[in-house]
Each structure stands twice: as C-alpha cells, then as structure tokens.
Amino acid sequence: MVDNKLQWGSRVGLILAMAGNAVGLGNFLRFPVQAVQNGGGAFIIPYLVCFLLMGVPLLFIEWSIGRFGGQFGHHTTPFAFARMSKARMWKYIGVFGIFSNITIASYYCYIESWTMSYVYHSAVGTFAGMDQNSVAAFFDDYLNVFTSTTGIPFEAIVFFVVCLVLNTWVLSRGLSGGVEKAAKIGMPLLIVFGIFLAVKAIFLKAGQDGAVYDGTVGLNFLWTPQFDSLANPKVWLAAAGQIFFTLSLGQGSVQCYAAYVKKKDDIALNAMSAGWMNEFVEVVLGSAIIIPISIGYLGIDRVVELTSFGGLGLGFRTMPFLFQQWGPLLAAVAGVAFFGLLFFAGITSTLAMGTPVMSFLIDEFNWRRSRAAMGFGFSVLLLGLPTVVFFKKGVFDEYDYWAGTVSLVVFAMFEAILFAWVFGMKKGWQEITDGADIKVPAIFKYILKFVTPVILILVFVTSLIRPANDDWSKVSITGWEVHPESIIAKIRNDHIGPNCEYFTDTYYAETAGVVDSVYTSEEKNVVAVVKEDQSVKMYETAMTNSVVVKKGDRVDAGVALFSGSFINNVFYVDMSRLLLVALFLSICVLIFVAYRKRKKEGTI
C-alpha cells in the first residue's frame, strides 16, 4: 500500500520550509526597489510598523486557521473556513486559498525557470564580453519563445517544463521527504550565497574592477532616513503591499503547512521564527546586494531610472553585466550565486504553492500523493503556458495583478474578519496560545480584533480607488482620475489605449511623438517614435503588415501606424481574465462536490 500520509519530519524543517515559502524573489528584487522608490531609509519605518500591525497578526491568524482545520483533517482553507463558520459563503471565500496558489505558481514557475537558465549561462560564461545593451537584449531574446540562446528549440518553454517537473517530483516525495529536504538544502545555501554577495557589494571600491562609486554609496542612498516621506500615503501603501508579498500572506500556503501541526504543538513561536527569518533575508541581505552593486557601477540617477521598470529588469538585464566587471572566474561564481540564490528562493515558494493543491486532492478526492503532485504539475503547465508564449502580450502581468496582488488582499481581509469577528477573538486567542512556547503579548488580542482588519480594509479600498499620481488631495465627492494600477482602472482597461479592439486592420500609436526611424529587423517592420519626454517607444509588426508613417511624421495617440491584420493585446488580456474566472469557478464546483460528499459521509 502506498504511504499517502503527509507529515513534517522536524520542527526546524517546518520553520525552514515556512521561511522558504515566505522568502522569494521579491526579497532580493522587489524590496530594495520599493525602498529606493519610497524614500530610502524612511521606507523601513512604515515597513516595520506594517510588519508588526499587519504581518505578525496575519501570521498568527494563518497559522491558527491552518492548525485548527488540520484537527478535522482539512488541510486547505475552504474546509477550514467551513469549520469556523456555518455560513456557506466562507468555504467559497476559502477557494482563494487554492486559486491563488495554482495561478501564482503558473507564472512564478516561469520566473524560476529564468533563474535556472541564468545559472547555466553564468556558469558557461555566456555573458563574457557582452556590453550592457547586449545583456539586456539577451534577456529580451530569452523571453521570445521562438529564439534560442542555447541552441535548444523553444528554450523558454523547455526550461519552464524542466522547472515544473522538478517541482512536481519534489512535491511527490511528500512533506518530510520532499518539501522539507528542499528547504533544508535551499535555505542555508541561499543565506550563504546572500552573505557572499552582500560582502562583495559592501566592500566594492571605486576605481577597482571598473566601479565608479564605493558600495557604501548605495547603502547610504538606501538607508538615509527621509522622514518627510512618512506623511505620504503612497509610502505606507507600498510598505503594506511589500509586507503582504514578502510573507506570502493571503495565499493559503501558510495555513496548509500549519495544518500538519498537531493541536498541542506550538505555532506562536514557529510563526515568529519563520517570519523574522524572512525579515532577516529581506532587510539585511536583500538590501545589501543589487542596490549597492548597481549604484557602484551605474550611479544613483541611472539606478533610480532602472528601478522604474521594476526589480526583475534590474536583476536580469543589468546584474549579469555588472558581475562581468569582476573578471571571468568571479563573474561566473557571482552569477551562479545570485541566480542560484533566486532559484532557491523561488523553488521553496512554489513548493509551498503546490502543497495546498495536493492536499486538497488528497483530502477530498483520496488521490495518491504522486497523482496529486502530477495533478498540480499538469494544472500549472496548462495555466502557465499562456504566460510563457504570450508573455509580451500582457498575460503574465494579468495573472500577477489579479491572482498575485488583488486576490491576496481580498482573501486576507476576509480571513482577518472571519477570525476576529465571526469565529470570535476568544476562540481565536485560544487557538494562537494553545501549546505556545512563547508568551504572546496580550496587546495582539486588540490588534487582531481592531487594527489588522481595519488596515486590510484600508489597503483594499485604497487599491480600488487609488488616485492618479497618488495625489490623494484630488479625491473628492465629485469624482477623480484613478491611477492606472487601481482596480477600477484595470477593470475598465484604462491602460489599453487606442488599440482597444480584439481584431482590427489598423494599428494606432499609443502616445504622441515624432517618428524617429522606420526600418525592418528580424523580419519585422519597426517604427521608433520619440516621445515628448525624449524616451523612445518602439512599435513592431509582421512584414505582412505595412507601415503608413514615415520618418519625421508627427503622430498623436490614435494615429494609424500600420495597416494589415492585427490581434491586439486587449484580446490576450481579456482571455487571460476569462481563464482566471473559469479557474476560480471550477474550483468552486469542486468544493461544492467535495462538500456534498463529506455531508453524505457525515465527516463535516
């Protein structure tokens, strides 16, 4: 008979797996960028306040809900929620705890595959001799599934599938034999790689290895407190957002891992240990790598400009070039360490996303462990392929926005209300403190009941109605222009611009400017338009479509650039949203079927 039981091997293994769940690419790529964009050293104050008032309470809530559900054999949020309240809606809100994991895993696994590929390219010296533009172009080529940087056809898909197979294999080995072993190898290696790179960054000297500034210039920029930015709501919103992503809250994975902890065992100290380990990796190591190194070579202005494109761009388009300045051997070591570190951060997180999906299939449909792992792998493959193939069409960003951002906030808001107000703080506090190896300060009882739900509601409402340019003084009863990243603007497709039809015979300019050049490159017609801020916007189309502008033409948004036959990005954006809605509804149906089955069996 196959052993289908999932169980943790050791407490340290659980802590490392839980910390691995939290530690992700965002610790190294998102946190420093957020800090740079939000006042440098002053960002850390709202960040730590949000950690104490939102992060720590949510950790307590999620660990408690997980262990509570586990007592009844429920290792996922839909049925754990159903045990906490008789109202039907809660189990369907719990669906977010499975939905988010499958969806985030499907695009996160793709980023993880980039890190795997970049470890290989760093080791074999692919980046040797390349200038900064070539390294950036290499990344763009990699993202195009039809080009190959290794000679392997459809390389991006191949690396994605290899990465997914590795995740599926580890998951099929169970918690103690798979997830925990991966965390016990990955987390220490990640910290060692991180310390190596941080030391190298801090001791970077101007004039050595091509560096223009000392590494401490970057640290100075990052850590100089700017207390005036504390009054800016944008900084607080960014800090709250970062706490969410960094602790993997509102996702359902913490609850699932904690569901395998028995009632009399501690969760309070475990939650603190894993949470602070994540903070160590993020604040101590994450702040000491990419910003000091990149500022050391490129200067503050250029790095601030680069961070406007996000941390992924800085990590993959710039870092391989900077490592080359350290000579061939150190460049290879640093590249392997940096992308290896990102790989371990990624895989320990995707394993945590796979576990709730597996547990759901095992708990509710009696699937064998290996079959459940395959079920997860297959779902992620189906859902993830559109992000790989149509990456540049906006599918990846849609998944990230709806599943990796909005769903987390909505889910966490509801679970905080469920825990403190529906389940009740008396029972909730009992759940947190049962078997605790530390004394949880009583003030958290009030924070959990009043402060955390209010903060979460505020985060949700501000995400919904965020004003343009984050100018909150413009918010009025008569209406205001919303930020393109606000939920309302996203639903209305405000960011789409003039190319708003699915299928069309004309492609229009998206912004005003002057046509700088018209040429053909790699069997594509290209039009370069210099915008009013002097940045260049490139438009590309197949050779079968014709260009209707010429060099020197003045174009406004909505002026025709190409004629022929086009499928606009809005088509892919809307299709990916439909796919996500279909996935959510499918999981709801599965929950309905499983609930009826349990009712019949008398197990709920």
Which of 225, 310 has the CB closer to another protein? 225
CA distance 234 to 232: 5
Note whether 201 and 289 are within 8 A (CB): yes
**Least distance to another protein, CB of residue 233, Å:** 22
Sheet holding 560-567, edge to edge: 503-508, 560-567, 546-547
3-state secondary structure of 173: coil
**Least distance to another protein, CB of residue 222, Å:** 8
**Contact residues: another protein, CB under 8 A:** 7-15, 41, 44, 48, 176, 216, 219-220, 222-225, 260-262, 264-266, 269-270, 272-273, 276-277, 279-280, 283-284, 435, 437-438
Which of 260, 316 has the CB closer to another protein? 260
Which of 47, 118 has the CB closer to another protein? 47
Which of 39, 377 has the CB closer to another protein? 39
CA distance 439 to 231: 34
Which of 60, 90 has the CB closer to another protein? 60
Which of 271, 410 has the CB closer to another protein? 271
Which of 54, 222 has the CB closer to another protein? 222
Which of 438, 585 has the CB closer to another protein? 438
**Least distance to another protein, CB of residue 10, Å:** 5
Which of 258, 482 has the CB closer to another protein? 258
Q: CA 474, 479, 484, 486 torsion: positive or negative?
A: positive
Which of 285, 332 has the CB closer to another protein? 285
Tokens describing residue 27: 């610790």
CA distance 211 to 278: 30
| Strand-strand pairing, 546-547 and 536-542 | unpaired
**Least distance to another protein, CB of residue 220, Å:** 4
CA distance 456 to 61: 13
Tokens describing residue 495: 């960011």
**Least distance to another protein, CB of residue 431, Å:** 15
**Least distance to another protein, CB of residue 13, Å:** 8
| Strand-strand pairing, 536-542 and 524-531 | antiparallel
Note whether 452 and 409 are within 8 A (CB): no
CB atoms within 10 A of CB 174: 23
Stretch (H or E) spanning 506: strand 503-508
Q: Amino acid identity of 182?
A: A
109 Cβ neighbours under 8 A, 6+ residues apart? 160, 163, 164, 167, 350, 380, 384
**Least distance to another protein, CB of residue 335, Å:** 26
Which of 266, 363 has the CB closer to another protein? 266
**Least distance to another protein, CB of residue 69, Å:** 14
**Least distance to another protein, CB of residue 428, Å:** 21
Note whether 38 and 225 are within 8 A (CB): no
**Least distance to another protein, CB of residue 365, Å:** 24
CA distance 352 to 218: 33
3-state secondary structure of 141: helix
32 Cβ neighbours under 8 A, 6+ residues apart? 222, 286, 287, 289, 290, 291, 311
**Least distance to another protein, CB of residue 48, Å:** 8
Stretch (H or E) spanning 542: strand 536-542
Buried b (16+ CB within 10 A) or exposed e, 36-61: bbbbbbbbbbbbebbbebbbbbbbbb
